[in-house]
Each structure stands twice: as structure tokens, then as C-alpha cells.
Amino acid sequence: QFFGLAAVAALVPAVVWGFLLFSARGVDRLPKRGLAWFGYAVLAAAIAGCVVPPKTWPLPTGLGGVFGDMVLKIPGLIVGGYPTGLIASVLAVLLAAPALWLFAYGSALIARQNGFAVLEQPAAPDPRDQDDLLFDNDEDEGDEGILALGAITHWWLSLRAYLRRRAARRRERDDFEPEMEPRASAWRR
């Protein structure tokens, strides 16, 4: 309801980011690009709000949702009401240019510093520090405890599941066995 039909357009930069990251290209300047992405989504909502909604439109807002109505309220103060007709068409065309620029910048299609993700080459280690690198196990000291805790938890859950299955089978078997009449034991004669 915030973006109306522009919610579909608002997701396009996420698809472009996904493609860039999948193809080993980085997305630089994430905060700025994120703000540009949000600005594009708001302007796309305003452009969608310039279109007259059909009578079957279920929301009390326009096609641009709440954000579209908020942006269109500013020119509505100048025009004297919600923009419709020719004024809405002109406004949509005027909003298209900044929306396209914000889309291109927010999607990381323009003003990119890095074409492909480049792995930084680490500085060559000093041969005197080589022994320290080979025998440095400070980071791995706590792993055994975590692994043991995981194994114990797994065994406990497996045991509980086994006991529950066994109890269910026993209840099932007891429900289906016909009750036998007690017999006189051969020992009592």
C-alpha cells in the first residue's frame, strides 16, 4: 500500500544488484545507492499516482500508493488539488528524468568505480614469521567444545525421537490387539 503499483518497479534495482553480485561485480557506495534506490521508488510511485485509478482499484489511495499521494500533494498545493488530466501527464514526464537517473545510480549502472570485484593481493609474509603462521591455532581453540555440544544435542534429540516412535508403536499395537480372557494357569491345578 505504500508504493501501490510502483512496488514492482521498486524491486528492479534489487534484481540488478543480484546480477552484479552474481557476476562477480561489486556494488560500491551502498548507503548512497540505497538512498537513490528509495528516491527512485518514491518518484516511481508518484508517476504511477499520476494515472487515474480504475473504478475497481481497492485502495483509498491512487495507483502510486501512500508515497505517490504524498509526493503529488506538493504540486497539488500549487495547482489547487490532486493533479489530474494534462497537469498529471506533464508532471509524470517531469518526474521521469530524475526517476531514471536515480534508478540508474541506485542500481549501480552508472558512476561505478569497480567493474569487476578484484581480490586484494595480501602482502607477502615475512619468512621469519612463517613458523608463527604454521603453528598459530589461537582461532581454532574453542571449536572442539562447540562440536561436542552439537554432537551431544544431536544424540539427545535422536534418543527422544526414538523413544517417541517406540511408544507410539507400542500404543498402536495395544490398541489393535484383542483382549484375551484370562486363562487358568497350568500351574494352579
Cell (9 digits) for 5: 503499483
Phi, psi dihedral angles at 119 (to 5 degrees): -80, 130
Mean pLDDT of the chain: 79
Q: Is 116 helix (H, G, I), strand (E, B) or coil?
A: coil
Write down the pLDDT at residue 99. 92
Give the H or E element holding residue 177.
none
CA distance 63 to 50: 8
23 pLDDT band, cuts 50/70/90, is: confident
- CA 119, chain centre distance (Å): 26
Write down the pLDDT at residue 117. 45
102 pLDDT band, cuts 50/70/90, is: very high
Q: Report pTM.
A: 0.57
Nearest to 65, CA basis, from 86, 44, 88: 44
